[in-house]
Structure 1
Amino acid sequence: MLDMRKVMWLLVIPCHVFSRTSSPSGNCTGLSEITFQDIKDIIDKTTQMNLLFNKIADLEEQMITLKKYVPRVIFHARVSDGKNPVAQKRVIYDQVTINKGLAYNTVTGFFTAPVPGVYQFTYSLLAQMTSERTAVYLMRNDESQSYLHSILKSGQAQSSSMDTILSLNRDDQVWVRLGTGSAWSGLGALNFQGVLLEAEED
């Protein structure tokens, strides 16, 4: 809080300056009417104004932060038991355990990037024991980015997975295509997941 004596001097000096230029008597009659309560009220109002200015500055900083807000993007999905994908089809992972950011669509099987940035994806393959050659591809829009390939004798099965890091633009779509053979979805064997590692500005 301001020192009362300093406030009094701030009031006295302008008064005397004004009185010397406008009145030969040099009287500051108005000053005698000002009480300490008046001064205190002025100080309180000044303090309140300073608090309001500080709040406005805080709100402006919060607005800047909100403009830079980046949603958390994390999803994990799997193919339901019994829904074994067939060759030359997009794999639909219809069971979602987490979908922060709502970027993965359980109907279309597409992950659509909500913001540009670097993403990490993981997908898995478990071929049917009757399928000797099975391959799944991770697609970005219409281009293959990586793949899993299983070559086994009939009656054998092997589970595998692949991690892929991609730099995506906003609205790029990432999905999984079963190219050849057939996959088995039992016990949650077929999974697709992704996470935003680092967002970039548009």
Structure 2
Amino acid sequence: MLTAILVTLVLGLARAQNPVVSFSAGLSHHQAFVADDNVVFDQVFINEGGAYSSTSGLFTCPVSGIYLFQFHALSRESSNAWMELYHNADYIASVFAHAEQDYASAGNSAIIKVTKGDTVYIKAVDATGYPVNLYGATDEVYNTFSGYLLAPVFEEITPVGK
């Protein structure tokens, strides 16, 4: 009994020091967007830590740390695939693809420091005459958004009077 309690405590401590936060989601249907729409990736492949919302498209950081985010896009024929990665209200990176009478794809990634409670999400960018129109189907998921914690960051608190 004591051994089981010790193993539980050690595993709990290891999990607290090395938390697992990861998500990966895709777009399971065709979707057109206008400027500043959040892109909501509805098909969740993994969501360890429960930080990604498939209803809002927001990743809400549960553990402060260094994170890797990746996003990929495939446009429908003669349409744009222009999306931007945001950390809270701050622009981080873009993808853009366009081809006349063909599909076009793009992908990008970024490693950023994210604090507990911050949000990371993808927004559509609408270019005049070429709306964002992403390709998708339940058995053809090309548009994806993924992220995972590379390393937690524990902020040191300076004792009062030091």
Q: TM over 0.5: same fold?
A: yes
User: Could you tell me which residue of structure 2 aligns to residue 125 of structure 1?
Assistant: 73
Structure 2: how far apart are the matches of 1:136 and 1:67?
34
Change in Cα spacing, 1:160 to 1:63, as seen in structure 2 (3 Å) is: closer
Which of 48, 63, 88 in structure 2 is aligned with 1:141?
A: 88
Report which of the two has the higher share of strand. Answer: 2
Change in Cα spacing, 1:126 to 1:116, as seen in structure 2 (3 Å) is: same
Structure 2: how far apart are the matches of 1:129 and 1:71?
42
User: Could you tell me which residue of structure 1 aligns to residue 142 of structure 2?
Assistant: 189
Q: In structure 1, what residue type is equivalent to 2:146? A: Q
Change in Cα spacing, 1:155 to 1:143, as seen in structure 2 (3 Å) is: same
Structure 2: how far apart are the matches of 1:166 and 1:142?
14
Q: In structure 2, what residue type is equivalent to 1:116? A: S
Cα displacement (A) at 1:66: 6.0
Structure 1: how far apart are the matches of 2:124 and 2:15?
40
Structure 1: how far apart are the matches of 2:53 and 2:18?
20
- Aligned Cα RMSD in Å? 2.4
Q: Which has the higher contact order (CA 8 A, sep 6+)?
A: 2
Which of 116, 121, 131 in structure 2 is aligned with 1:175?
A: 121
Cα displacement (A) at 1:166: 0.8
Change in Cα spacing, 1:67 to 1:109, as seen in structure 2 (3 Å) is: closer
2:25 equivalent to 1:90: no
Alignment check: 8 A CA contact 1:125 1:183 kept = no
Q: Which runs of 5+ in 1 are unaligned?
A: 1-51
Matched ranges for 1:1-202 at <5 A:
62=10, 65=13, 68-82=16-30, 84-88=31-35, 89-131=37-79, 133-152=80-99, 154-180=100-126, 181-186=131-136, 187-202=140-155
Cα displacement (A) at 1:141: 0.9
Larger radius of gyration: 1
Q: In structure 1, what residue type is equivalent to 2:34? A: A
Cα displacement (A) at 1:163: 1.3
Q: TM-score normalized by structure 1?
A: 0.63
Structure 2: how far apart are the matches of 1:64 and 1:157?
48
Alignment check: 8 A CA contact 1:85 1:178 kept = no
Alignment check: 8 A CA contact 1:137 1:177 kept = yes
Deviation string, structure 1 residues 21-58 (Cα, Å, up to 9, x no partner): xxxxxxxxxxxxxxxxxxxxxxxxxxxxxxx9xx9xx6
Q: In structure 1, what residue type is equivalent to 2:13? A: T
Cα displacement (A) at 1:81: 1.9
Percent of paired sites with the same residue: 25
Cα displacement (A) at 1:126: 1.2
| Partner secondary structure for residue 65 of structure 1 | helix
